[in-house]
Structures are given as structure tokens and as C-alpha cells.
């Protein structure tokens, strides 16, 4: 497997990151989650992403079990910002919440350091200078190696970088945006800014909530257990125009001996500003399907064709 630098850092990560937001929940129980994570590591994936709010902290506890005896092999990423306790300080990006949330994550993860600690969402009630100073203190203490953000705009990242630079502190090295073939809006501003600034992109929802897997078919109701079957907003996206796009993309991939999932991930991996798309899996089979994308390198003409088809 060919590993990539995370932004301008020297940290090497796999071209796919395994996401743990469902692990320990109703769909993916603990033992299934552990099987998936171990299969991912055995396949060469060294990058795991979770958060303190995923399945009420259970996701981090599951990851802890996988880290046993293999901690040095893994680049571990987690996040804070969401509500994890009562009262006005039970959430946010204040110094108080960040320091307490980091210690709580370290306990759940069973480790003494986090490789990439990320702010999950922008906090408009806390000065960014306070947030960046707290994160820098975590880096200086050795509890955190690198810092990043998720769901930040280009302007918000720029403000964070300015604050860190003025204070001589650690800067963000990565961002997690929502980005896939059906939502290419980050290509307009966020990702060019990140490429210019040396910020690595570890985008989530690369398969658009399952729309880019080929499991939804025109004229057939989504299976009740599928994400579109459970989420009305996702199901509403499955109109004739969407099926036209999905069918054309799938045909493009099939003509080249690949699947729609392979195409969705290969397109992202071909972008110079993308480090590692974050893939989820509820089975080892789904994980293996995503890994198949690593065998396909899209050329310049193919990228242009895919963009035209995707719209």
C-alpha cells in the first residue's frame, strides 16, 4: 500500500482511513466492529478516525481494544466539540471543555497520546485564539501529536491558522469536510485553499451515504435496513435525475472493469488536495469493496469525463 503525507507534515497515513462513527451502535456491534478494524489493519490501513460523541463514547472504547499491542502501528484520530456532559460547559471548543474532553478520550482509548486531535465543528461562542492555545498546550504536553478540524469553512481555517501563527502555536494540519462525487462544492474554495496552505483533506461521506455504492436501483424501494430506508432525507434524493447520474457513473466504471464504489473513491484519491477519504463499513465485505478502489488510478481525461457525468 502506498502511504501519503498528511498535509505538509511528515506523518504517513494510508490512502483510506477507516471511520468508526457507527461502531458500537445498533448496526455494527462490538465484535463485528473489531473484526472490521482488524481486517483493515491487516490490509495495510494504519489510519483510524473516531470521536468522543460517536455511539456515546463506545466507539472510542472499541478502538482501544484494537490498539492493544499495536498502538505504534496506528495513526489515531479523534475529535471533540460535541456535547459529552451536562451544563453550559459540557460542549464547545473552550479551553475547559477541550482539556477535559481530551483526558476523557485518552481514558476511553486506553492510550497516553492521540496522533490527530480535531475540533469537530466551529464554535462561534469561543474565541478561536482560546481554542488554538488549548490545542497547542495539548501538543506541548505530549497528549496530542497533531491537530486538525472538521466541518470548518476556508475562512474559519484561515482564522485558526492566523491565531496559531500569531501565538507561535501548533497549526491545523488537516480538515474533514463532507465531500464526494455528488457534492463537489468543497472544490470551489475550501480544498484549493487547503492545498495552498498545506492542509490535508480527510473527507467524510465519500460514498454519499451509500448512494455511490450501486445498491439503490431505479424502480425498487430501498431496503428497510439500508440507510436510505431509514433516513427519509436521503431517500428523497433518489429521484429520476439522481438515478440518471448514478447509472451513468456506474456504466463508466463498469466499462473499465470497476464498480461504482471504486469510481467514487478513485476520483477522490486522484485529487491533489485529498489525503485519505474516510470510509465506513458494517462488514468486512464492504471494507474489501472500498479497498478495491486502490487498484484504479484515474487519468486526466477520465477525471474530466467523470465530472461531466456527475454534474
Residue 99 lies in a domain: yes
Rounded distance between C-alpha atoms, residue 308 and residue 178, angstroms: 20
Residue 266 lies in a domain: no
Q: What is the mean pLDDT of residues 229-233?
A: 73
Residue 159 lies in a domain: yes
Whether the predicted model's global pTM rises above the 0.85 cut: yes
Print burial letters for 49-73: b (CB count within 10 Å at least 16), e (below 16).
bbbbbbbebbbbbbbbebbeeebee
Beta-bridge mates of residue 201:
175, 274
- Domain containing 54 equals 4-208+271-297
What angle do helix axes 30-42 and 58-67 make, rounded to 10 degrees? 40
Contacts of residue 136, defined as CB under 8 A and 6 or more positions apart, other chains included, come to 147, 164, 167, 169, 170
C-alpha cell belonging to residue 280:
465506513
Residue 276 lies in a domain: yes
Residue 158 lies in a domain: yes
Contacts of residue 218, defined as CB under 8 A and 6 or more positions apart, other chains included, come to 240, 243, 247
C-alpha cell belonging to residue 174:
488537516
pLDDT tens sequence across 107-166: 999 999 999 999 999 999 999 999 999 999 999 999 999 999 999 999 999 999 999 999
Mean pLDDT, all residues of the chain? 95
Residue 303 lies in a domain: no
For position 10, which CATH number holds? 3.20.20.100
Q: How many CA atoms lie within 13 A of 223 on its CB side?
A: 7
**219 burial level (CB within 10 Å; 0-12, 13-18, 19+):** exposed
Indicate the pairing of strand 114-119 with strand 75-80: parallel
SS3 (DSSP) at 47: strand
Closest C-alpha to 159, from 79, 167, 178: 167
Closest C-alpha to 264, from 240, 242, 292: 292
SS3 (DSSP) at 275: coil
Residue 114 lies in a domain: yes
Instruction: Point out the catalytic residue in the list 3, 54, 113, 216.
Output: 54
Asked about 54 being catalytic, the answer comes back as: yes
Total domains in the fold of the chain: 1
C-alpha cell belonging to residue 24:
458500537
Q: What percent of the chain has pLDDT over 70?
A: 98
pLDDT tens sequence across 175-218: 999 999 999 999 999 999 999 999 999 999 999 999 999 888 88
Please tell me what DSSP assigns to residue 180.
B
Q: What is the mean pLDDT of residues 218-229?
A: 74
Specify the length of the chain in residues: 311
Residue 144 lies in a domain: yes
Amino acid at each position: 500500500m502506498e502511504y501519503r503525507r498528511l498535509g505538509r507534515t511528515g506523518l504517513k497515513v494510508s490512502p483510506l482511513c477507516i471511520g468508526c462513527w457507527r461502531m458500537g451502535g445498533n448496526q455494527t456491534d462490538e465484535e463485528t466492529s473489531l473484526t472490521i478494524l482488524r481486517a483493515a489493519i491487516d490490509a495495510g490501513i494504519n489510519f483510524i478516525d473516531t470521536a468522543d460523541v460517536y455511539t456515546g463514547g463506545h466507539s472510542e472504547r472499541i478502538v482501544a481494544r484494537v490498539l492493544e499491542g499495536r498502538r505504534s502501528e496506528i495513526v489515531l484520530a479523534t475529535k471533540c466539540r460535541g456535547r459529552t456532559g451536562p451544563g453550559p460547559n459540557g460542549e464547545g471548543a473552550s479551553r475547559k471543555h477541550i482539556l477535559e474532553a481530551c483526558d476523557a478520550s485518552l481514558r476511553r482509548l486506553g492510550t497516553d497520546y492521540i496522533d490527530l486531535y480535531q475540533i469537530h465543528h466551529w464554535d462561534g461562542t469561543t474565541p478561536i485564539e482560546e481554542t488554538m492555545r488549548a490545542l497547542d498546550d495539548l501538543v506541548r504536553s505530549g497528549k496530542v501529536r497533531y491537530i486538525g478540524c472538521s466541518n470548518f469553512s476556508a475562512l474559519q481555517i484561515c482564522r485558526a491558522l492566523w491565531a496559531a501563527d500569531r501565538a507561535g502555536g501548533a497549526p491545523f494540519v488537516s480538515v474533514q469536510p463532507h465531500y464526494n462525487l455528488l457534492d463537489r462544492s468543497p472544490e470551489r474554495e475550501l480544498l484549493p485553499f487547503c492545498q495552498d496552505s498545506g492542509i490535508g483533506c480527510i473527507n467524510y461521506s465519500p460514498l454519499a451515504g451509500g448512494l455511490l455504492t450501486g445498491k439503490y436501483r431505479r424502480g425498487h424501494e430501498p431496503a428497510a435496513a439500508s440507510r436510505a430506508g431509514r433516513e427519509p432525507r436521503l431517500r428523497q434524493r433518489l429521484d429520476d435525475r439522481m438515478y440518471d447520474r448514478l447509472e451513468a457513473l456506474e456504466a463508466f466504471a463498469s466499462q473499465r472493469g470497476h464498480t461504482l464504489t471504486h469510481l467514487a473513491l478513485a476520483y477522490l484519491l486522484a485529487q491533489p488536495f485529498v489525503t485519505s477519504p474516510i470510509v465506513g463499513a458494517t462488514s468486512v465485505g464492504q471494507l474489501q469493496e472500498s479497498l478495491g478502489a486502490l487498484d484504479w488510478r484515474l487519468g486526466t481525461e477520465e477525471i474530466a469525463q467523470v465530472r461531466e457525468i456527475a454534474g
